Amino acid sequence: MRGRMLILVLSMLPKHALSRAAGWLATRTVPGRWRGPVYRTYSRVFGARPEEAALPLEQYPTVNAFFTRTLRPGLRPLAADAIVSPVDATVGAYGIVKDDTLVQAKGRNYSLAALLGDRELADCFEGGTYTTLYLSPKDYHRIHFPVSGNVTAATYIPGELWPVNVAAVANVANLFAVNERIVVEVEGERGGRMAIIAVGATMVGMTRLAFDDLHTNARRREVQHRRYDPPIAVETGGALGHFEFGSTVVLVCAPDAGTIEPLADGATVRMGERLGSPPAAAPTGDLNMPDVRVPTED
């Protein structure tokens, strides 16, 4: 009941304006003497770990800088020969892509084609595996690549900004496919395609990429699609982007890109931990990547 009431209230509020306002506030400079107390209080309330931050708390000039902090070197070792978790998160769902369907929550499914905004792309993932990874305010907010390979395309899809917590997932139909999101397409170094979908949410000022200026909650509210020629080479654990607060990542693997292994709903994962197995060996010869990649918007 409380979840339905929350969604009802949010349905009447200007969520994009509120999120932009939150983003603006988060970029205001915090006086130096207040920074330690402010960030430590935030950490106690939400359960964040300020001791993992790469810098002393006093060196983060804004709340947003603290939200998007990097970590001290060595805290997130990368599992060897694995598809690794791109984020610190809680598992919201796991499954096999069947008939274009992914599970949002018990009793709620949604369309992969709607999530990706591309029916032809969605067909590539039929029979593959996926997982939904929820980042709460306590989590490390940066997103990393789960495998080495090449980024071939990225698409910003405007939409709603519903929250992505448990209450919203249970009560908003097609939540991940109607919220703002960025779809990043990766061809693995051993072949196969992955899609990494960064889903925006209420009070997330922006979701930003590390290799492009695409971001969510843009004032230009239209689909923006980029293809890259040459593709952008990336390494496992390399920077993909960040959330300016918490949100959700949906990771989808085509059958020839490896397999995400079964994950229990509610399980906690950390960036760099093993999620699954890549293909056994790199293919011989040309990867035969589909489509011509160009460096500008379509």
* Residue whose entry in the numeric block shows the structure tokens 């090449």: 150
CA–CA dist 48, 245 (Å, integer): 12
| Radius of gyration (C-alpha) of the chain in whole angstroms | 19
Cα(154)–Cα(244) distance, integer angstroms? 19
Residue in 43, 118, 141, 144 annotated catalytic = 144
Of 16, 85, 88, 118, the catalytic one is 88
Q: What is the token pair recorded at 10?
A: 């949010």
CB 5 within 8 A of CB 168: no
Catalytic site residue 247? yes
Are 112 and 125 within 8 A, CB to CB?
yes
Which of 19, 43, 85, 247 is labelled catalytic? 247
Torsional sign, CA 210, 188, 91, 156: positive
**Beta pairing class for 207-209 and 193-199:** unpaired
The torsion angles phi and psi of 37, rounded to 5 degrees, stand at -60, -40
What residues are labeled active site?
88, 144, 247
